[in-house]
Structures are given as structure tokens and as C-alpha cells.
Amino acid sequence: MATATAQTTDAPAQRELERRMLRQMLLIRHFEEKAAEAYALGKIGGFCHLYIGQEAVAVGALSALRDDDYVISSYREHGQALARGVPANAVMAELFGKATGCSKGKGGSMHLFDAGRRFMGGHGIVGGHIPLAAGLGFAIRYKGGDQVCICYFGEAAVNIGAFHETLNMASVYKLPVIFLCENNRYGMGTAFERVAAVTDVVEHACSYDMAAELVNGMDVLAVYEATRRAAERGRKGGRPTLLEVRTYRFMGHSMSDPLHGVYRTKEEVEEQRKRDPISQLAGKLKEEGVLDQAGLDALDAEVRAEAEEAVRFADRSPDPDPAELTTHVLAD
Amino acid sequence: MATLTYRDALNQALREEMQRDPNVFLMGEEVGVYQGAYKVSRGLLEEFGPMRIVDTPIAELGFAGIGVGAAMAGLRPVIEFMTWNFAVLALDQIVNSAAKILYESGGQIPIPIVFRGPNGAALQLAAQHSQAWDSWLSHIPGLKVVAPATPADAKGLLKAAIRDNNPVIVLEGEMLYNLKGAVPEGEHIVPIGRADVKRPGRDVTFVCHSKTVAVALKAAEQLAEHEGVSAEVLDLRSLRPLDEEAIVGSVARTNRAVVIEEGWPHAGIGAQVVDVIQRGAFDQLDAPVLRVTQADVPMPYNKQLERLAKPSPDRVVAAARRVLYLD
């Protein structure tokens, strides 16, 4: 596995980057906790897939990208939207189905979009968005740009045909795409090893002559570095990369599912919680004297307030006008 | 006006639109080096190069999705399916991605893409290669669907489809590619959503599209010759949106209708047309509306059985005689 050895050409800048990453991870954690509360209160409907435990994967990777790069994801995408800079208010309002949501209340938890930030959606069919990422990469190449497209998907999507068709074509067409597999070990309640003949996702890259890295997804700096290398590969040579980022979800598959039970043990979840990516980075920053406990508490309070404000904002935002039912079916 | 085949009319539309707009590109199986499985893309690779005429592996789901993704970034892809039978593998991208992203993004991301290729039966290709997906595809909000019957409409509708800011399905016909007809040169656009009277008449309306337009025209000729009946042939051209005004207008004048399509009867396009007629021309109807469709079976291989399964002029004539109470 790639280990965390961040490039420290500029120590203050590196410290600022790490501090920013910690802030974003904390924001996602608090945001998701608030979302869980709101879901329990019936303010959020439908499916709601929380990102708690996986924060380092969104934050580490997206910190390594530029504003003009494309980001596309599956339905567990609140964390990536926040890490991309979509305001917490707009994300929470979308979960609440409000007109002020980032998709005007028409997408919900699984379909967060912010075209201005090149956040090209949450998509709800497992693996269905993987070809879209290659299409975004194709457009970059077509226009002669040096951007990349990053595509988040879970390990369960690797068993879908779209994954294989797309990796093949991305390699054949030399597309600047980072395929980032968030391997959280379970597709809903099914352990990956029970349904996958090859359990090291990274090995699939061999079939498509693609660069690949196995990354510790609980180490935000490792994710950052691996993504930086992959982006470089995309920008310079128009080559795709497959990153298998090993992570763990601390919550159930969605809000309707149990945390543990038939498919994984309580002990396993508790063991994994000891690897909490936020505690790890906070510990590192404390150890290095970048942040003391008071500083950490202040940061925590700041983002907690941001998440609470997002709930208040969503709560007081209006529902979409009934006329919105029939808008945006077709473009002019 | 030049006389062109349907195939060359499509080729002309593609060439003109690619010359006009550098964001238009063509992607699909065999479209480049092989010059197109049905030669619709003949000469385009030489003119536009491999970045814009893109050969793909046999991976319909994958390349349809690449097209949608490219459209999300502002390109205007034309995705060719060797036939619509194979496009069933890509339905997730057409239905879940292309048709929905504009809506679920709250209007942020339009998907200007064309999916095209031959649809329906050819000759003795058996069940898996002989299917008309008209009604499946027309069911989906967020898509437009066109099905040209003539070379001129093929050119004009494909050009309109490429310029449209939405996903547009273009249903062509393997049996239509050699059909010849007059095609206007240059800027010839057929607006999507407008039907066309291919033969005016007074006594009964034949509502049809794509390959069944020729079937309806032949039936109309027979009826005129043998029965002195004047049938109007209304070519829908677009299946979504449907030109309800034209359908109702024609039936309100003729008071009788037969709806003809290549697809299966259950929940077919004809069922939708009949709904339009009963709502819009109920008081003008002098007989129940009848439908002529493919037999409700997977397409058989045997030539005689296949002929029995397809809509034919004879079946249209028989239906017309019934709605005219001539039997």
C-alpha cells in the first residue's frame, strides 16, 4: 500500500493543506450525523447512504485535483460533494428536497449535482455512471484539455459489466480518468469476497493495461498522494488509473439498514473504528504541534455549527414550486 | 433536388452537421475503418479523422455511456448502434442517464445526444435481430423519438436531432437504407414533433411511421384502384413528441382510422395513437379504430411465417374494409 509521505516542499503550505483536510473531514462527519438525525425525524426521505468512516477518500482525492477537473460519483456522494466545495446548505437542502438544494430538490440524496463546480452527479444505479466518467474524459481529450475526471464507485460496482467495458475503452482511447474504487468491503450486506473471484480490485487493471495503486483509505495523505500521481498521469499522458482505496463504512449501507448483524460483527466495526481517518489526521497534527486540543476543539465547533446551520437552512427553505414538476424534462 | 438513397441522405446529414459544428462526433461499432455496417458513415473517417469518427469495441453499454458523458461536457455525440436490437444492452445509459440527468440535476446539465441505428425486422434475421423498439423508447420522458420513412425526412430529422439539446432517438430501417427519393440540398431541417401527410385522402386515415408508411401507401393505392376508397396516409415521423393535432385533424375529416406499426400490439405506439383519437375525435368517429401490427410472437425465421408476422398491405386493406363497413 502507498504510505503517507506528503511532499513537503513548502512546510507551511503542507500544514495548511492538512488542516484544511481535517476541517473538511470533520465537516463531512458532522454533516452526516446531522443528516442521520434529520432522516430519523422524517425530514429526509427515500434512501440516504452515509459516508461516515470514508471521509478520507473524498477529501484526500479531491484535495489533489483542480477546480476545472470533473468529479462524478455514485449514490454515496454527500462527502464528495462537500469536499468539492458544494455548500453544506445546498447539499442538506437537497437531502430535504428543497428548492434551494443543489439539484433544486429534484435529485435528492443520490443525485447531487453542481455543474459550476464540475460535480457531475451522484448516480443511483451501481456502476451506471462509470461510462459517464469515461465520456467526460473523452470530452477533455477531444477538446485538447489537460483536466482529469475522477470517478468514485464502490467495490460492488466492479462486478458490473459497465466497469469492465469502460476500463477497456478508457485504456484504448487513452482517457484522463481516475477510477477510484472505494472498497468498503460490503455491497450492502454482501461481503466482497463472497461474490468476487478476484478480491484485490487493483488486479483488474492488469486486464486493461492500466496503471493502478492500492491505497490505504484511512490515511487521507496516502489518498491525496496517490490521486496526485494519478492526476499527473492523466494530465501528461492522457492515461487512466485505477485506484483501489481500502476504506470502511462505520454506518449501515443506508439509513434503513443495521450497522452490523448478519453480515458483519459488532467487534469488526469497533475494530475498524480504531482506524478512524479523522482521529488519525488529528493525532498527527497534534503530534506535530500544528494543532493543540484547543485548536482542534475550535475547529470541531466551527464545522459543527456549519452542519447545524445547514439543517436550519434546509428546514426553513421552501419546497419547489408545484410548477417545477414539469420543468427540466426537456431542454430548450 | 438530388435523388439520394435513405443511406446517403443520412450520410449527408452527418457530414453537413459535422462540418457545421466541431462538437459533433460519431461513435459506434464499425463506423470508421469499415465505413459503417450499413455504410451510413461512408467517407466520414477520411474527412474528419479518428477523433471524430470513433470505432468502438462491441460494448453498447460502455460506448453509449461514453456518449452521454461527453454530452455532459458539452459535446454533441451521435451514437450509432449497429442495430437497435443490440442497443437493449445500453438501455441503462439511455433511460437512466441520458433521459434523466437534466431533470435530476434541476436543469443544470442538458444531454444533447443522438442515438441512431436500424430498428425492426429486416429479412429472415430471426427473433433476436428483428425487433421494433418504438414503443419502449417512446415511453420515456426526457427522450425524443423520430422514425423517418423517406430519404428527405431521414436527412431533415437527423439534422434536427443533432441540433436538438436533448437526447434524440433516431429509428432507421435496414430495409429503408436503399430507398431512393428526392432530398433537398443543404439546410433541410424537418422539425421534430410534426407529422406529414404522405398521401391525402377523404375516407379513412392510415396512421403509420417508418417502414409501415410504404405498407400504408401500397394499401391506399389498392383501395383506390379496387374499391374507389380514398385513404389518407399520415406519417407520424416523430413518436415523441407525437403530433396529436395532425392525428386528430385527419381523423376528424375522414372519421375512420387504421393505425399501423412494426411493433408488437400490446402497449404499442398504436395504442397511444388510439388514445389520442378517442380523446380528440370521439364525436367524429364512425367506426372503432383498428390496428395492424406485428403478430404478437417473437419473429420466426421461416420466410412464410415471417411474412405472416409482419404488417402487410393486405392486412391494412382488410382493416380498412372493416372500418368502412365494406365487408
Summarised one tens digit per residue, pLDDT across range B121-163 is: 999 999 999 999 999 999 999 999 999 999 999 999 999 999 9
Task: Please check whether residue B88 is in contact with residue B133, taking contact to mean a CB–CB distance below 8 angstroms.
Answer: yes
- How many angstroms separate the Cα of B299 from the Cα of each of A279, B123, B126, B131, B175? 63, 10, 6, 8, 16
Rounded to an integer, the average pLDDT of A39-57 is: 96
Q: Over 80: is that where the pLDDT of A8 sits?
A: no
pLDDT, residue A258, reads 84
How close B245 comes to chain A (CA, Å)? 20
CB contact under 8 A, A327 and B93: no
Question: How far away is chain B from the Cα of A193, in angstroms, using its nearest Cα?
Answer: 26
pLDDT at A2 over 50: no
3-state secondary structure of B247: helix
- CA torsion A98-B69-A249-A61 (nearest 10°) is -110
- How big is the A-B interface in CB pairs under 8 Å? 145
Distance from the Cα of residue A156 to its chain's centroid: 15
Q: Does the ipTM exceed 0.95?
A: yes
Mean pLDDT score, A37-51: 96
Q: B104 vs A107: CB contact, 8 Å cut-off? A: yes
Nearest to A331 among B65, B74, B166 (CB): B166
> What confidence score (pLDDT) does residue A190 get?
94
> How far is the C-alpha of A232 from the C-alpha of A217, rounded, in Å?
20
pLDDT in tens, B81-107: 999 999 999 999 999 999 999 999 999
**Catalytic residue positions of B?**
60, 129
Q: Distance between alpha carbon A189 and the CA centroid of its chain, in Å?
A: 20
Look at residues B2, B41, B44 and name the one whose alpha carbon lies nearest to residue B19: B44
Q: Can you list the positions of beta strands (E) in B41-195?
A: 53-55, 76-80, 114-118, 144-146, 168-172, 180-183
Q: Measured between alpha carbons, how far is residue B23 from residues B73, B92, B144, B239, B251 in Å?
A: 10, 24, 20, 27, 42
Contact A329 B66 (CB under 8 A): no
Which candidate in B23, B104, B144 is best for mutational testing of the A interface (most A CBs within 10 A)?
Answer: B104
Residue A8, amino acid:
T
Rounded CA gap, B62 and B58, in Å? Answer: 9
Does 3.40.50.970 match the CATH number of domain A11-200+215-314?
A: yes
Contacts of B111 in chain A (CB under 8 A): 331
Q: What is the dihedral sign for C-alpha A173, A178, A183, A189?
A: negative
- What b-and-e string marks burial along A82-109, b requiring 16 or more CB atoms within 10 Å of the CB? bbbebbbbbbbbbbbbbbbbbbbbbbbb
Q: Which residues of A touch B57 (CB under 8 A)?
A: 165, 168-169, 172
Percent of chain A residues topping a pLDDT of 90 = 92
Q: A29 by DSSP, 3-state: which?
A: helix
Average pLDDT, chain B: 98
At B31-41, the pLDDT tens digits run: 999 999 999 99
Q: Which three cell numbers, joined as nine digits, stand for A150? A: 475522477
Question: In which residue are the cell numbers 411474412 written?
Answer: B307
Query: How far apart are the CA of A204 and the nearest CA of chain B, in angstroms?
Result: 17
Q: Which residues of B touch A (CB under 8 A)?
A: 25, 51, 54, 56-57, 59, 61-75, 77, 92-93, 96-97, 101-112, 141-142, 144, 165-166
Listed by number, the residues of chain A in 121-180 with a beta carbon closer than 8 Å to a beta carbon of chain B are 121, 123-125, 128-140, 142-143, 161-162, 165-166, 168-169, 172-173
Whether the predicted pLDDT of A7 surpasses 90: no
B75 with A139: Cβ contact below 8 A: yes
CB–CB contact A168 B57 (8 Å) = yes
- How many Cα atoms are found within 13 Å in the side-chain-facing hemisphere of B239? 33
User: What are the pLDDT digits (tens) for A189-220?
Assistant: 999 999 999 999 999 999 999 999 999 999 99
What's the angle, vertex CA B113, arms to CA B107 and CA B117, rounded to 5?
Answer: 145
Q: Give the pLDDT confidence of A278-327 residue by residue, as tens digits.
A: 999 999 999 999 999 999 999 999 999 999 999 999 999 999 999 999 99
For residue A135, give the nearest of B57, B65, B109 by CB distance.
Answer: B65
The reported pLDDT for the residue numbered B123 is 94
Q: What is the DSSP string of A155-191?
A: GGGGGSHHHHHHHHHHHHTT--EEEEEEE-SEETTEE
**Contact criterion met (CB below 8 Å) for A314 and B86:** no
Task: Residue B92: list chain A partners with CB under 8 A.
Answer: 125, 128, 162
pLDDT of residue A256: 84
A103 → closest Cβ in B73, B75, B106? B106
Residue B167 near residue B113 (C-beta atoms within 8 A): yes
Q: Which pairing describes strands B168-172 and B144-146: parallel, antiparallel, or unpaired?
A: parallel
pLDDT-based confidence at B299, cuts 50/70/90?
very high
Residues B151, B157, B161, B164, CA torsion sign: positive
Please compute the mean of the pLDDT values over residues B241-246 and round it to a whole number. 98
Least confident segment among A7-21, A91-105, A299-313: A7-21
A257-267: b or e for each residue (b if 16 or more CB lie within 10 Å)?
A: beeeeebbeee
Average pLDDT (B43-69) is: 98
pLDDT of res. A35: 97
What are the pLDDT digits (tens) for B177-218? 999 999 999 999 999 999 999 999 999 999 999 999 999 999
Q: A238: pLDDT confidence band, cut at 50, 70 and 90?
A: confident
Lowest mean pLDDT among A211-215, A237-241, B210-214, B240-244: A237-241
Contact B31, B80 (CB under 8 A): yes
Residues of B in contact with A162 (CB under 8 A): 61-62, 65, 92
What residue has cell string 465520456? A135
Q: Which three cell numbers stand for residue A151?
A: 470517478
CA torsion angle B243 B248 B249 B251 (round to 10): 130
A103–B108 C-beta distance less than 8 A: yes
- Å between B236 CA and nearest CA of chain A: 20
Instruction: Please report where in the chains the cell 456549519 appears, as a residue.
Output: A306
Residue of A91, A112, A136 to mutate, interface with B, max B Cβ within 10 Å: A136
Are B157 and B12 within 8 A, CB to CB?
no
Nearest to B208 by CA among B282, B269, B143, B130: B269
